Amino acid sequence: MASITLNHLVKKYGDGFPAVNDVSLDIADGEFIILVGPSGCGKSTLLRMIVGLEDITSGDLLINGERVNDKAPRDRNLAMVFQNYALYPHLTVYENIAFPLRLNKGKYNDEQVRKLVTDAATTLELTDHLDRKPANLSGGQRQRVAMGRAIVRQADAFLFDEPLSNLDAKLRGQMRAEIAQMQRRLGTTSVYVTHDQTEAMTLGDRVAVLKKGILQQVASPRELYEQPINLFVAGFIGSPSMNFLPATLENGVLKTAVGDLRIPEEKAAKAAGRQVVLVGIRPEFFEDASLVEEHKLQHGSTFTAPITHTEWLGNEQYGYIHFDPTPEVRELLNNLARDMDADELRPQVVVTLDAASRIRGGRDAELWLDTRKVHLFDPETGENLTRDAAAGAELTEEANAHRAEEIAAAHEEVPAAAS
Ligand SMILES: Nc1ncnc2c1ncn2[C@@H]1O[C@H](COP(=O)(O)OP(=O)(O)OP(=O)(O)O)[C@@H](O)[C@H]1O
Ligand SMILES: [Mg+2]
């Protein structure tokens, strides 16, 4: 078990480009932390620095308070699970799992190896497959063998680099749940790299969002979702993504391409003195106005907009509103898309509608927007002007408390697995 501390870590590769740029992060003992961000933002580099596969250019890395910058990977006692599993094809599942123990010649006798491997196999439901070879296993089973190898080492922490990206969507969902449960049972500090924001939201206690080697925000999934610190985090977390609309603010009314939106005074005050802001609206902040209960209507703004088309998904539907961007807006959206490694940000607004809504494409529709929830961003710096830091911190504290309860409950249920 271990705490891991990153103090101003920097990694510059040969060409001088900082792949990891001044990252500081405290990872608590037993915590499950996710590193997320678009391709090339430095996630793998950071993980490899922690495990010792990559030199640290500057800054300090501490494990349990002890500086380990110069320690070899084998002396850090961390277990890494890779995307491609790195299993030995000629060895059985049993021997694959036992492999790290065999490397430690003399440290474990056969009986100890047998106990560690069979315990891990039980945890991972691999008992029936111990005599098989990796080639004969499904992707999910291979993934579990790779995890078994990490478990038997009784490492101080698990480091995962996109361990599920080779699996199909269904299996990925299943394995995601298994990894989350296993981590709670074992209570082993874990750092998990992914560029999949669903994995980030569902697995971690806290999520660290990276952009171009720079840490943007570290918080519980809910805090990231509800109180993002900037445009990048707001756009990266959530699917479908947050809508961004340029607007001018006049007397508490946002004039946008899809209509005029009256926002609460406190929000307008946060953007006081600015002519142009970027409004951030999650699709679910909208609703078909005819379906909104009377008492809720007053908390939002009702407006009419042309719906281009709708998609009915059974439990809900999406409506799309296309708008004509000015060249400045077009450029802003393009820059944003580049930052997020997205193909393109279309000049459109996505709205989530109740499944019962009769709103259809090709017509004007009356929509309601919960204006209490919208965010206003500085279009130049991307800063979220309306972020409520206290409300955000409360969400993360709540998540921490809930997490502590879950770990305690898991240990009561399966005391043997904690050893
Ligand atoms: N050995 C290397 N030499 C030089 N530059 C490198 C090296 N490895 C990675 N980089 C660069 O460092 C940056 C971060 O790479 P890294 O592999 O950490 O990204 P990542 O976030 O893991 O991306 P992905 O999601 O695609 O795996 C990239 O710009 C990459 O080109
Ligand atoms: Mg990577």
One-character DSSP codes across 33-68: EEEE-STTSSHHHHHHHHHTSS--SEEEEEETTEE-
Q: Is 183 exposed, middle or buried (0-12, 13-18, 19+ CB in 10 A)?
A: buried
Locate the ligand 1 atom nearest the alpha carbon of residue 45 and give its number. 18
What is the predicted pLDDT for the residue at 415?
A: 52
Residue 35's pLDDT is what? 96
Point out the ligand nearest to the CA of residue 45. Answer: 1
- 207 CA from centroid of ligand 1 (Å): 20
Per DSSP, the three-state class of 380 is coil
Both tokens of 258, joined, read: 């899809």
Name residue 146's amino acid: A
Ligand 1: centre distance to CA 21 (Å): 13
**Ligand 1, closest atom to CA 20?**
14
* Residue segments in the chain with a per-residue pLDDT below the cut of 70: 413-419
Give residue 105's pLDDT.
Answer: 74
* pLDDT at site 419: 42
- Contacts of residue 264, defined as CB under 8 A and 6 or more positions apart, other chains included, come to 371, 372
Size (the chain), residues:
419
Does the beta carbon of 42 lie inside 6 Å of ligand 1? yes
Cα–Cα distance measured from residue 344 to residue 335, given in angstroms and rounded to the nearest whole number: 9
Ligand 1 pocket mutation, candidates 11, 17, 23, 45, criterion most atoms within 8 A of CB: 45
Closest CA to 261 of 321, 309, 310: 321
Question: Which tokens hold the place of 144?
Answer: 């579990």
Q: Which domains does the chain have, with CATH numbers?
A: 4-226 (3.40.50.300), 232-386 (no CATH)
- 195 Cβ below 6 A of ligand 1: yes
The CA distances from residue 162 to 98, 195, 248, 269, in Å, are 23, 8, 41, 42
State whether the beta carbon of 312 lies less than 6 angstroms from ligand 1: no
What is the C-alpha separation between 419 and 412, in angstroms, rounded? 12
Q: What is the pLDDT of residue 391?
A: 94
pTM: 0.90
Neighbours of 81 (CB within 10 A): 22
Find the angle CA(195)-CA(198)-CA(201) to the nearest 5 degrees: 100
Q: How many Å apart are CA 9 and CA 43, to the nearest integer? A: 13
- Tens digit of each residue's pLDDT (9 = 90 or more) over 72-125: 998 999 998 877 778 899 999 999 999 989 887 778 899 999 999 999 999 888
Give pLDDT tens digits for 40-72. Answer: 999 999 999 999 999 999 999 999 999 999 999
* Burial of residue 29, with CB atoms counted within 10 A of its CB: 0-12 exposed, 13-18 middle, 19 or more buried: middle
Residue 155: DSSP 8-state: -
Tell me what pLDDT residue 123 has: 84
The encoded tokens of residue 128 equal 């029936």
The confidence score (pLDDT) of residue 418 equals: 44
Task: Determine the Cα–Cα distance for residues 19 and 14; give it in Å rounded to an integer.
Answer: 11
Question: Shortest CA distance to 233 belongs to which of 398, 38, 8?
Answer: 38
Q: Given the CA of residue 47, which atom of ligand 1 is nearest to it?
A: 18
